[in-house]
Amino acid sequence: MEKIVTRHMFQANTQNNFIGYLKDNGYQAARKALTQMTPVGVIDEIKRSNLRGLGGAGFGAGMKWSFIPQNNLKPKYLVVNGDEGEPGTFKDKYILEQDPHAVLEGIIITCYAVGSHKAYIYIRGEYTKSLHSMQNAVAEATKAGFLGHDIMGTGYDIDVVVHPGAGAYICGEETALLESLEGKKGFPRLKPPFPAVEGLFGCPTVINNVETISCVPAIINKGAEWYAKLGSEKNGGNRLFCVSGHVVNPGVYELAHGVTLREIIYDHAGGLPHGRKLKAVIPGGISAPVLTPDQIDVKMDFDSLKAIGSMAGSGGIIVMDDTTDMVWAAMIAARFFAHESCGQCTPCREGSGWVYRIIKRIYQGGAREHDLLNLPGIVNNIGGNTICAFGDAISMSVGSYVTKFRSEFEAKIKR
Amino acid sequence: MFDKIAAKYEQKRTAILPLLHIIQEKEGLISSEAEKNIAEYLDVPVVHVHEVVSFYHLFRQTPKGKYHFSICQTTACALLGSEGIIEHIKDRLGIKPGETTPDGKFSLSAVECLGACEIAPVMQGNKEYIGCLNKKKIDEIIDQNS
């Protein structure tokens, strides 16, 4: 299978890859876009490629770009979301560290398409290597004339700022990220207005994930039809899947959208160690409802996972073997949500801690009479009642453990 | 140095996170004195700076040990034994998550997902990612930094 995002990665000399990137048609897609295509033409190409937002929402990238109003005199911004924090997800780190120039070239093309002259790359604060790698790449690209003033002699200016986060999961939510980037605590905003209309500093803003942006140069080089054909019906190209937990070969795998979860676990990640059996698997980061072994023939695209009541999310697959105590696993998830709730909306702030405390006492053997009865009601009252999707994530994720492994919860209570 | 960073942003106050990182790197924590200085520099109320410092997990207002263990405790790491790693550090150093040894050499935090599940169980030792943790690796780190 042809690799796109990882074509320069996992090689011996992936550090300092500027020269290698240039040799492999580097920055030629940006040159092509800026000299031979109109901004509308670029957006159209991306739309036809079926490139979908790979941060988790799966929204059409070209569609998103087309929402930027062009009759507006305000400056327009591109924000690249590298605040990778969804448990089970670690793909953007590899892109930022090993192919930073693909991100920068994607930025140039995206900025041109939407009429932006300034881009921010927001990288989670713990990723110090990614921050250094991107800062270094920006310096290299600026020196070579690919960024800054009058790039490649086209008269177009693009300024790129690499911005460090500071350890708040919620800042991966796009409007919380904008608040954070404006120097505030990361509280998600009410939508609408959507960032395309009122984003950073109240100006039209496109926010895309690192992986999404890094796919853009290849699409411009090889064409929308090529990219669309690689994927499935509504999903262009490939996707990076991060596999962790109880597997023989954890890591990042670039695979077609149509791959099944079974193929990823057993063919690519080497199956489960010690001859153990699969008990449960999270298919798209901790926010995605957990799946049982009878569900793993699902295709890993956005629509197929949605159809079986879970989600493709960020592509983070966490595998659990038959030794896993699912009440304990639910407690770990609930603790994560309780810890990372930003505190803005009452149902989430209070509910996340409440859910964690209940599951913890069920696990530790101190359950009260109505605990298991109350739990579904509490999680359902968080979902749908908050400003951002974090509340829905608590509800869907924790709710799925209770529904699918109810007997384990009951056994703990009876004990 | 502050001016150089602030100049990259449309609005000066936007530079608060990178500036706080620089201060913490240099001083080990963000003191209330530093909060005041940053507030003055960015022309924002001190309470705004304090709000930001207390919201983001990476900023500290109390000193940590010379060697700081941030052990990931989320799902992938938990499945591969992070609870045992935390217990082992507690036993070896006599401190719980959130505490520092009396000699100031070590401190311990249990943190949520570090984004390195492929090398679980993983931690940040100061800022360095160290993966595939086991008791032996922890012992070596403690011995080297004692």
ipTM of the complex: 0.97
Do A248 and A114 share a structural domain?
Answer: no
Domain-embedded: residue A8: no
Residue A9 resides in a domain: no
CB A327 within 8 A of CB A412: yes
Residues of B in contact with A181 (CB under 8 A): 14
Contact B57 A332 (CB under 8 A): no
Q: Which chain A residue has the Cα nearest residue B24? A: A166
Q: Cβ contact (<8 Å) for A183 and B78?
A: no
Is there a single domain that holds both residue A248 and residue A219? no
Regarding whether A267 and A147 lie in a shared domain, the answer is no
| Subunit contact B14:A166, Cβ cutoff 8 A | no
> Is A166's CB within 8 Å of B58's CB?
yes
pLDDT the model gives residue A266: 98
Q: Are A299 and A351 members of one domain? A: no
Collapsed DSSP state (helix, strand, coil) of residue A315 = coil
pLDDT score for A220:
98
> Taking CB atoms and an 8 Å cutoff, what residues of chain B touch A127?
115
Q: How many CA atoms lie within 13 A of B119 on its CB side?
A: 14
Is there a contact between A87 and B118 if contact means CB atoms under 8 Å apart? no
Query: Residue A15: its pLDDT value, please?
Result: 56
Do A62 and A185 lie in one domain? The reply is yes
Q: Are residues A124 and A220 in the same domain?
A: yes
Last residue of a domain, one of A195, A230, A265: A230
**Measured between CA atoms, how close is B67 to chain A, in angstroms?**
16
Calculate what percentage of chain B has a pLDDT beyond 90: 98
Asked if residue A198 is part of any domain, the answer here is: yes
User: Which chain B residues touch A124 with a CB distance below 8 Å?
Assistant: 115
What CATH number has the domain bearing residue A351? 1.20.1440.230
Residues contacting residue B142 through CB under 8 Å, at least 6 positions apart: B89, B92, B93, B106
Q: What's the structural domain count of chain A?
A: 3
Confidence at residue B1, expressed as pLDDT on a 0 to 100 scale: 85
Structural domain harbouring A254:
238-321
Tell whether A311 and A338 lie within a shared domain.
Answer: no
Does A10 reside within a domain?
no
CATH number at residue A63: 3.40.50.11540
How far apart CA A396 and CA A290 sit, in angstroms, is 9
Contacts of A243 in chain B (CB under 8 A): 118
Neighbours of A260 (CB within 10 A): 16
Contact indicator for A308, A265 with CB cutoff of 8 Å: no
User: What pTM did the predictor assign?
Assistant: 0.97
Residue A334 and residue A253 share a domain: no
Coil, strand or helix: which one is A406? helix
Yes or no, beta carbons of B57 and A166 under 8 Å apart: yes
- Which residues in chain A are contacts of B132 at CB distance < 8 A? none
Nearest to B124 among A126, A286, A335 (CB): A126
- Domain end (from A177, A196, A230): A230
Q: Are residues A142 and A198 in the same domain?
A: yes
Question: In this structure, what CATH number is given to the domain that contains residue A278?
Answer: 3.10.20.600
Could you identify the residue written with the tokens 């979301």?
A81
Q: Which of A321, A344, A362 is the last residue of a domain?
A: A321
DSSP of chain B? -HHHHHTTSSSGGGGHHHHHHHHHHHHSS--HHHHHHHHHHHTS-HHHHHHHHHHSTT--SS---SEEEEEE-SHHHHHTTHHHHHHHHHHHH---TT-B-TTSSEEEEEES--S-GGG-S-EEETTEEE-S--HHHHHHHHHHH-
Same domain, A25 and A110: yes
Chain B residue with CA closest to A322: the answer is B79
Asked whether A354 and A378 are in contact (CB, 8 A), the reply is yes
Residues of B with Cβ-Cβ distance to A126 under 8 angstroms: 58, 114-115, 124, 127
Q: In A186-246, at which residue ranges do the beta strands (DSSP E only) sit?
A: 205-209, 238-245
Residue B64 and residue B28 in contact, taking contact as beta carbons nearer than 8 Å: yes
B contact set with A (CB within 8 A): 8-11, 13-18, 20-21, 42, 44, 48, 51-52, 55-59, 73-76, 78-80, 112-120, 124, 127, 129
Q: Which residue of B has its CA nearest to A170?
A: B56
In a domain, A190, yes or no: yes
The helix (H) or strand (E) run that includes residue A317 is strand A316-321
Q: Return per-residue pLDDT of chain A as tens, 415 residues.
A: 889 999 888 876 655 589 999 999 999 999 999 999 999 999 999 999 999 999 988 999 999 999 999 898 999 999 999 999 999 999 999 999 999 999 999 999 999 999 999 999 999 999 999 999 999 999 999 999 999 999 999 999 999 999 999 999 999 999 999 999 999 999 999 999 999 999 999 999 999 999 999 999 999 999 999 999 998 888 899 999 999 999 999 999 999 988 999 999 999 999 999 999 999 999 999 999 999 999 999 999 999 999 999 999 999 999 999 999 999 999 999 999 999 999 999 999 999 999 999 999 999 999 988 999 999 999 999 999 999 999 999 999 999 999 999 999 999 998 7
Going along chain B from its start, the domains and CATH numbers come out as: 2-55 (no CATH), 67-145 (3.40.30.10)
Nearest partner of A285 among A55, A12, A37, A29, judged by Cα: A55
Q: Are residues A196 and A80 in the same domain?
A: yes
The one-letter code for the residue type at A135 is Q
Q: Do A164 and B113 touch (CB under 8 A)?
A: no
Q: How many CB atoms lie under 10 A from the CB of residue A9?
A: 18
The residues, ordered by sequence, that sit 6+ positions from A410 with a Cβ below 8 Å of its Cβ are: A372
Are A68 and A182 in a shared domain? yes
Size of interface A-B (CB pairs under 8 A): 137
